[in-house]
Amino acid sequence: MFFRVAIITMSAIAFAQADEWKNDSLWHDGLVEKATYLASRPIYGKDRQYEAVIFTNKEQHDLKTLTKASGSTDTVEVWKHNLIEVVPTPNYDYTFATTTHMTAGAMELTRLDCSSQEFCGTSFKQFLQRPGSGSLDYFAFSYMPEAGRVEGKIDAGGRKFVPVDSLGLWLRDYDFVNRPKVSFSTIVTQKSNRPTSAKLMDAQVTFAGEEADAFKLEVHAAGQLIGSYWMAKDRLHVMVRAELADGQKYALKQVQRVDYWTIVGE
C-alpha cells in the first residue's frame, strides 16, 4: 500500500489563469523551489520506497550550447526542473538524475537529460531541441550487453513534444480554468539503465476532477492511461502527487524556497 501524506500548498488558494504561475515574481527572488516527495518505484520486482527531490527555477541558457549562460548574449529564458532520486535496494542504491529544460514562456522542451548510475555502470539519454525548430536530436548510451550508443533525430510533426519525464513541470501550465483536452506527443520514461524507446506516441491530457487542494489530470497514450497527476490549486500549481502506469509514485512531503548553492549539508 502506498503512503498518504497531507497536501502542502505554498500560499492561499488562488484560481488563476494557467500562465500566471509562470510570471510570478517569486521566480526571480534568487532562490529555487525545492519540492520533497515520498516516492516508490519497482526494482527487482518489488516497490522500493525512497525520498525524491525536485528543484525548479528559471535561468538563462545560451542558444548555441543549450547550457546555462555566463557571458553569452544570445540567450533564452528556461525552466530548469531537476529530479534527484536515490533508490535503496538489497544489492546497492540506484541513482537517477532527470533534468528537464523548457522555454519560460511557451513551455517548449529544449533539453532533457536522464542518467542512471549504480554499481554495474552508468547509462545516459539526452534530447536536444532548438527553440522553434520542431525537431530534436537525441543520443542514448546503455552499458547493458550489446547496447552501447545510439543516436538519431525526432520530427515532432508540428505537435507539442513533452516526454513523460517532463510532465511534472509541463502540467503546471495546464488551463485549470477552462479544462480542455490537450493533445501532444510523448515518449516512454527514459529513467532506466537499459535501452529505452524514443518512438513518439500520440497522447492526451484530460481534466479528471478535484480532490482536496489539488486538480487531478490524467494522461493517456497509445490508448492507455500512462499517468495520473495531482497539481496544487495553489497559484504555482506544484505537483502534489503522481501515479504512473510503470509503478512510479510520488506524494508531496514539503515545498521550500532555498539557496541552490548552499543547500548541501542543511
Residue 23 CA to residue 12 CA, distance in Å, equals 17
- Collapsed DSSP state (helix, strand, coil) of residue 165: helix
pLDDT at 103: 97
Domain that holds residue 252: 18-258
C-alpha cell at 81: 526542473
pLDDT at 13: 37
pLDDT at 240: 98
User: Is residue 213 one of the residues assigned to a domain?
Assistant: yes
CB atoms within 10 A of CB 57: 19
- Nearest residue to 129 via CA among 149, 105, 100, 96: 100
pTM of the model: 0.90
- Reference 248, options 192, 169, 181; nearest CA is 192
> All 3 cell numbers of residue 170?
509541463
Residue 38 lies in a domain: yes
Length in residues, the chain? 266
Give the integer Cα–Cα distance in Å for 69 and 59: 8
Task: Give me the pLDDT at residue 9, please.
Answer: 39
Strand partners, 142: 148
Domain contains 196: yes
Query: CB under 8 Å to 23, separation ≥6 — which residues?
Result: none
Q: What is the pLDDT of residue 156?
A: 83
Residue 220 lies in a domain: yes
Quote the pLDDT of residue 10: 39
What Cα–Cα distance (Å) separates residue 158 from each residue in 155, 167, 185, 223?
8, 19, 10, 21
φ and ψ of 63, to 5 deg: -70, -25
Q: What integer pLDDT is reported at residue 175 of this predicted model?
A: 96
∠ at Cα 122 (198, 129), nearest 5°? 35
In a domain, 1, yes or no: no
Q: Is residue 205 part of a domain?
A: yes
> For each successive 10 residues of the chain (266 residues), what is the average pLDDT?
38 48 94 97 95 97 95 95 97 97 96 97 96 90 96 90 97 96 96 95 97 96 96 96 97 93 57
Rounded to a whole number of angstroms, the CA Rg of the chain reads 18
- Name the strand (E) or helix (H) holding 216: strand 214-221
With 0-12 / 13-18 / 19 or more C-beta atoms within 10 angstroms meaning exposed / middle / buried, residue 131 is middle
Indicate whether 36 belongs to any domain: yes
List the alpha helices (DSSP H) in 105-232.
167-170
Q: Domain total for the chain?
A: 1
Whether 7 is covered by a domain: the verdict is: no
What is the pLDDT, as a whole number, of residue 265?
A: 52
Residue 90's CB is within 10 A of a number of other CB atoms, namely 8
Query: What pLDDT sits at residue 204?
Result: 98
The predicted pLDDT at position 56 comes to 98
